[in-house]
Amino acid sequence: MANELQSKKDRQGTSSAPPVLLIVGAGASGMLAAVSARRTARSLGIADDRFRIVLIERNLKPGNKIAISGGGHCNITHDGPVDLLLEKGFLKKNEQRFVRHAVYRFTNADLLVLLASYGVQSVVKEDGRVFPASMRSGDVLAAIWRMVEEASAEMVTNMRVDGLEISRDGFEVRAGSAQFTADSVILATGGASWGSAGTLGDGIRLAVSVGLASVPTLPALAPIFFSVPPKPELVGVSLRGIGLLVESGSESDSRRGDLLISHRGISGPACLSLSRSVAGLFASGKAPVMIMADFFPGHDEGALSAFILDHAARRGTQLVRTFLQRCPLASERLAANSDKSTDPSATIPNVFAAEIMRLAGIGNELVMSGLTREHRRALVTIMKRLPLGKVRKVPLDKAEVSAGGISLAEINPKSMESRLHPRLYCCGEVLDYVGEVGGFNLQAAFSTGWVAGIHAARSLLDASHAQTAQE
């Protein structure tokens, strides 16, 4: 393949040589960039042999992260209007503003229509996540492969790009002993997480080598490991809708959602969402990073204390541990307890009820009427800020995505073109944005790739047309 691409000297001597768009990385953003670039060229009446699109992928097969995303089910995107998708999926306002144009240009609805045209129907879950109806990521990947093939894009796999050089004449890309010459380059290599899938920060390194600024990478959407593993009896326990807090010195952050206690720490949606902040605090090294659980995130300590007092006045003979075991977990309303059976997933798990009592210094046989003011204060404090552990690590190799990457200030969000180097484009997770768990990152990768492909093709083909007219 490398020999098929003309050298710079040969191309300069052949005015009729077709322009070449080189895409580094054949993941979600890179493959969609190839598809949109070809569709743009065809819409302008350009024959496929008059515009070459070449993808270089370091893995043996393209689209590895698509294949393993969502546990192999592929959470393609998120349902709902674009404004709501952006607000829900991108919590940092500058990142939300950056991806806005691309997601409006190629929306979640556009993506599902495109996939449906290749036989991939979708299904929306109750939480808004969208999956292929078959729940097989392979179906999504096979459809995108067919799109790339139909786009007459040339695919070079199992080849890692080592270097990028830019001159007045174009771009030189080195990959081992091979060298590629192109008129335009799109960096779509992904971030630096999930290294087993081949995303090792190559695109960030290449961008920095030609003068673009970058932000240090950190894990995001990752599990959190503790210095002391959770007690065996807590491992595997789920907590629904709780508040998850992180504190380090005077700095703090929080999320609300489901949590899973693992054998090394925590996981689950609330953990994944908070992990970016945790990783940043941990990397700063300023102070120990502590994780706590709030069993009543919708209520302050005063309201919780009044609830306990009221319950003690009505059911003074009830054991405190029974009260805790029947307590509504993360309830929107603090209602009086009932002796009727309650859905266990909606109440404090028994093992955590015992942990709350231990930390509050309350004996197993104490009844509600025996709670002293000190007991009640301790109980409220622990129920609102139960220590889960001290952070030992937020593993980058287990993160779904990475924060950091090419600085957003370097890129025009309307075209994905570098502000420093014309015809150099960057898209997908190589950029410094992170979406929440729920299909937002794949949608952003598809959208930014789609926009990069459109503008790269238009820029090259307009220039080629102008040069032909002059000749």
Distance CA 312, CA 323 (A): 9
CA distances from 368 to 312, 376, 462 (A): 5, 10, 79
Distance CA 60, CA 90 (A): 32
How deeply is 395 buried, as exposed, middle or buried, from its count of CB atoms within 10 A (0-12, 13-18, 19+)?
middle
Read off the pLDDT of residues 10-55 as tens digits, 9 standing for 90 and up: 444 445 789 999 999 999 999 999 999 999 999 999 999 999 999 9
Class of domain 301-388: mainly alpha
Distance CA 242, CA 58 (A): 41
Q: Cβ(5)–Cβ(180) under 8 Å?
A: yes
Question: Quick check: 467 pLDDT over 70?
Answer: no
Distance CA 98, CA 412 (A): 9
Distance CA 198, CA 63 (A): 10
Question: Quick check: 460 pLDDT over 50?
Answer: yes
* 8 band by pLDDT with thresholds 50, 70 and 90: very low
Read off the pLDDT of residues 221-252 as tens digits, 9 standing for 90 and up: 999 999 999 999 999 999 999 999 999 999 99
Query: Which residues are CB-neighbours of 62 under 8 A, at least 6 positions away?
Result: 26, 27, 30, 31, 55, 145, 148, 155, 157
Owner of token pair 């005063």: 302
Mean pLDDT, residues 174-202: 89
Read off the pLDDT of residues 50-81 as tens digits, 9 standing for 90 and up: 999 999 999 999 999 899 888 899 999 999 99
328 three-class SS: strand
How wide is the angle at C-alpha 399 spanned by C-alphas 396 and 401, nearest 5°? 105
Mean pLDDT, residues 207-218: 97
Question: Quick check: 330 pLDDT over 50?
Answer: yes
CATH ID of 2-219+401-470, from 3.40.50.300, 3.40.50.880, 3.90.230.10, 3.50.50.60: 3.50.50.60
How does DSSP assign 340-403, residue by residue? Answer: S---GGGB--HHHHHHHHHHHT--TT-BGGG--HHHHHHHHHHHHSEEEEEEEE--GGG-SEEE
CA distances from 207 to 167, 204, 259, 410, 426 (A): 14, 5, 37, 10, 9
Read off the pLDDT of residues 398-423 as tens digits, 9 standing for 90 and up: 999 999 999 999 999 999 999 999 99
Instruction: Give the distance from CA 124 to its chain's centroid.
Output: 19
The one-character DSSP state at 336 is P
How does DSSP assign 142-169, residue by residue? Answer: HHHHHHHHHTT-EEE-S----EEEEETT
Distance CA 107, CA 133 (A): 19
Query: Which residues are CB-neighbours of 13 under 8 A, at least 6 positions away?
Result: none
Query: Which residues are CB-neighbours of 232 under 8 A, at least 6 positions away?
Result: none
Distance CA 425, CA 33 (A): 10
